[in-house]
Amino acid sequence: MTHEVVLIPGDGIGPEITRAAQRVVAAAGVDISWHEVQAGAGVIDQYGAPLPDHVIDAIRTYGVALKGPITTPVGSGFRSVNVALRHAFNLYACVRPCASMPGDGSRYDNVDLVIIRENSEDLYAGIEFDADSVGAGAIADTVKKQTGKELGPQTAISIKPISRAASERIVRYAFEYARANGRKKVTAVHKANIMKCTDGLYLHVARDVAAEYPDIAFEDKIVDAACMGLVMHPEDFDVLVLPNLYGDIVSDLSAGLIGGLGMAPGANIGDGCAIFEATHGSAPDIAGQDVANPTAEILSACMLLDHLGETTAAARIRAAVRVTLSSGASVTQDVRRALTGSYDGAVGTTQFTDEVIDALSRMV
Ligand code: ATP
Ligand code: MG
């Protein structure tokens, strides 16, 4: 069966790592018809915007995309392509599995957790008021009237919307994910002891939803304690579900537990649409040099294959990546440095990908 998938190479190292992922998927024998479209700063001159309509249309038509990182330059006058995609497709859940692989260059060998981050609200809703703006003044006045508290002059304000609906949707997604993937426990991460209204609501909803899933264990952890726990005993964690801001921070922390951003895959899930992409950015400092680590993008492609029902191929690719990394001989410079303290002896993106394909061909 041929699967129809949109491919957005992205910018910086994007084209190199998406190309690597495509090659590995083809070598695993999965038949994909790629619909390649371009987005990002490079297309602004041609289409007048970094996210042209035909890109949106393609994703809407096929419902699934593999994407490279895209950095929207500050001051370009356009909003970030990633944010625009999130809005266009209501990509409310960001899923980032973090699993140790031998030879990944990290300090741990026992990490196997999944971060599920709420993507639509919280402090990232972008509702902010400059200290000098009328908005900040009006809010300060309201706060004064209602609570008697003085916010003081020259105080900028950011608003943190947490809704019952979005909290329920993300926690339910986490439990459904746990069930579908044979996971045993969901940990809701919050700061409800301090933010009693917002995180309090989130925690309350999480407990209610958890009661509907008696087959999955549930616990909640305060975000600071969760961070310490992740660093000291990552094996204690299984599925974590977090509001947007904590989710952003804790997913990078968790990537650090498995060898860094070059290792960490991700998916953005919406209603009827899913976009798969590495956790990291476009890494302009190493773009075009054939040195980027394509592992995160290859593993993102594995998540895409799981999504398409090609679970055997996904498992074979993951095994081939493991074999290649564990040999320790053919790793990209980021991993080489983590293992030995130096870039010496590292291989390039293309050679690493060749080794993964070679390992695939040696597997039954
Ligand atoms: P963004 O704002 O898009 O998240 P960022 O500023 O966080 O970007 P990244 O582009 O993610 O930055 O890169 C952070 C660092 O990690 C850079 O030094 C980059 O070279 C390195 N890096 C990121 N991805 C990879 C990769 N796949 N392989 C090797 N190094 C990487
Ligand atoms: Mg970043």
Task: Determine how many CB atoms are found less than 10 A away from the CB of residue 189.
Answer: 28
Q: Tell me the mean pLDDT in the region 17-43.
A: 97
Mean model confidence pLDDT for the chain: 95
Residue 51 in tokens: 């996210």
Instruction: Look at residue 68 in the predicted model and tell me its pLDDT.
Output: 98
Q: Is 213 a catalytic residue?
A: no
Q: Is 191 a catalytic residue?
A: yes
pTM, entire model: 0.94
Q: Tell me the mean pLDDT in the region 135-146.
A: 90
Evaluate if residue 191 carries a pLDDT over 80: yes
Catalytic residue among 11, 67, 122, 191: 191
Instruction: Look at residue 135 in the predicted model and tell me its pLDDT.
Output: 87
State which of 94, 280, 337 you would mutate to test the pocket of ligand 1, scoring each by most atoms of that ligand within 8 A of its C-beta: 280
With a cut of 0.85, is the ipTM above it?
Answer: yes
Q: Tell me the mean pLDDT in the region 111-137.
A: 92
- Looking from the CA of residue 282, the nearest atom of ligand 1 is 10
Give the closest residue (by CA) to ligand 1 atom 31. Answer: 262
Q: Tell me the mean pLDDT in the region 184-191.
A: 98
Evaluate if residue 222 carries a pLDDT over 90: yes
Q: Helical H runs in the chain? A: 14-27, 44-47, 53-62, 81-88, 134-147, 164-180, 198-210, 223-232, 244-257, 295-307, 311-327, 333-340, 349-361
Ligand 1 pocket check for 71: Cβ under 6 Å = yes
Report the C-alpha gap between 149 and 61 in whole angstroms.
52
**CA 13 / ligand 2 centre spacing (Å):** 14
Instruction: Look at residue 78 in the predicted model and tell me its pLDDT.
Output: 83
Q: Is 248 a catalytic residue?
A: yes
Is the C-alpha dihedral spanning 281, 282, 286, 290 positive or negative? positive
CA distances from 249 to 1, 244, 279, 283 (A): 39, 9, 12, 19
Give the closest residue (by CA) to ligand 1 atom 6. Answer: 281
pLDDT digits (tens, 9 = 90+) for 256-312: 999 999 999 999 999 889 999 999 999 999 999 999 999 999 999 999 999 999 999
Q: Is 185 a catalytic residue?
A: no
Evaluate if residue 230 carries a pLDDT over 90: yes
Evaluate if residue 334 carries a pLDDT over 80: yes
pLDDT band at 37 (very low <50, low <70, confident <90, very high): very high
Residue whose pair of structure tokens reads 């996210």 in the numeric block: 51
Instruction: Look at residue 271 in the predicted model and tell me its pLDDT.
Output: 86
Residue pair 17/297 in contact (Cβ under 8 Å)? The answer is yes
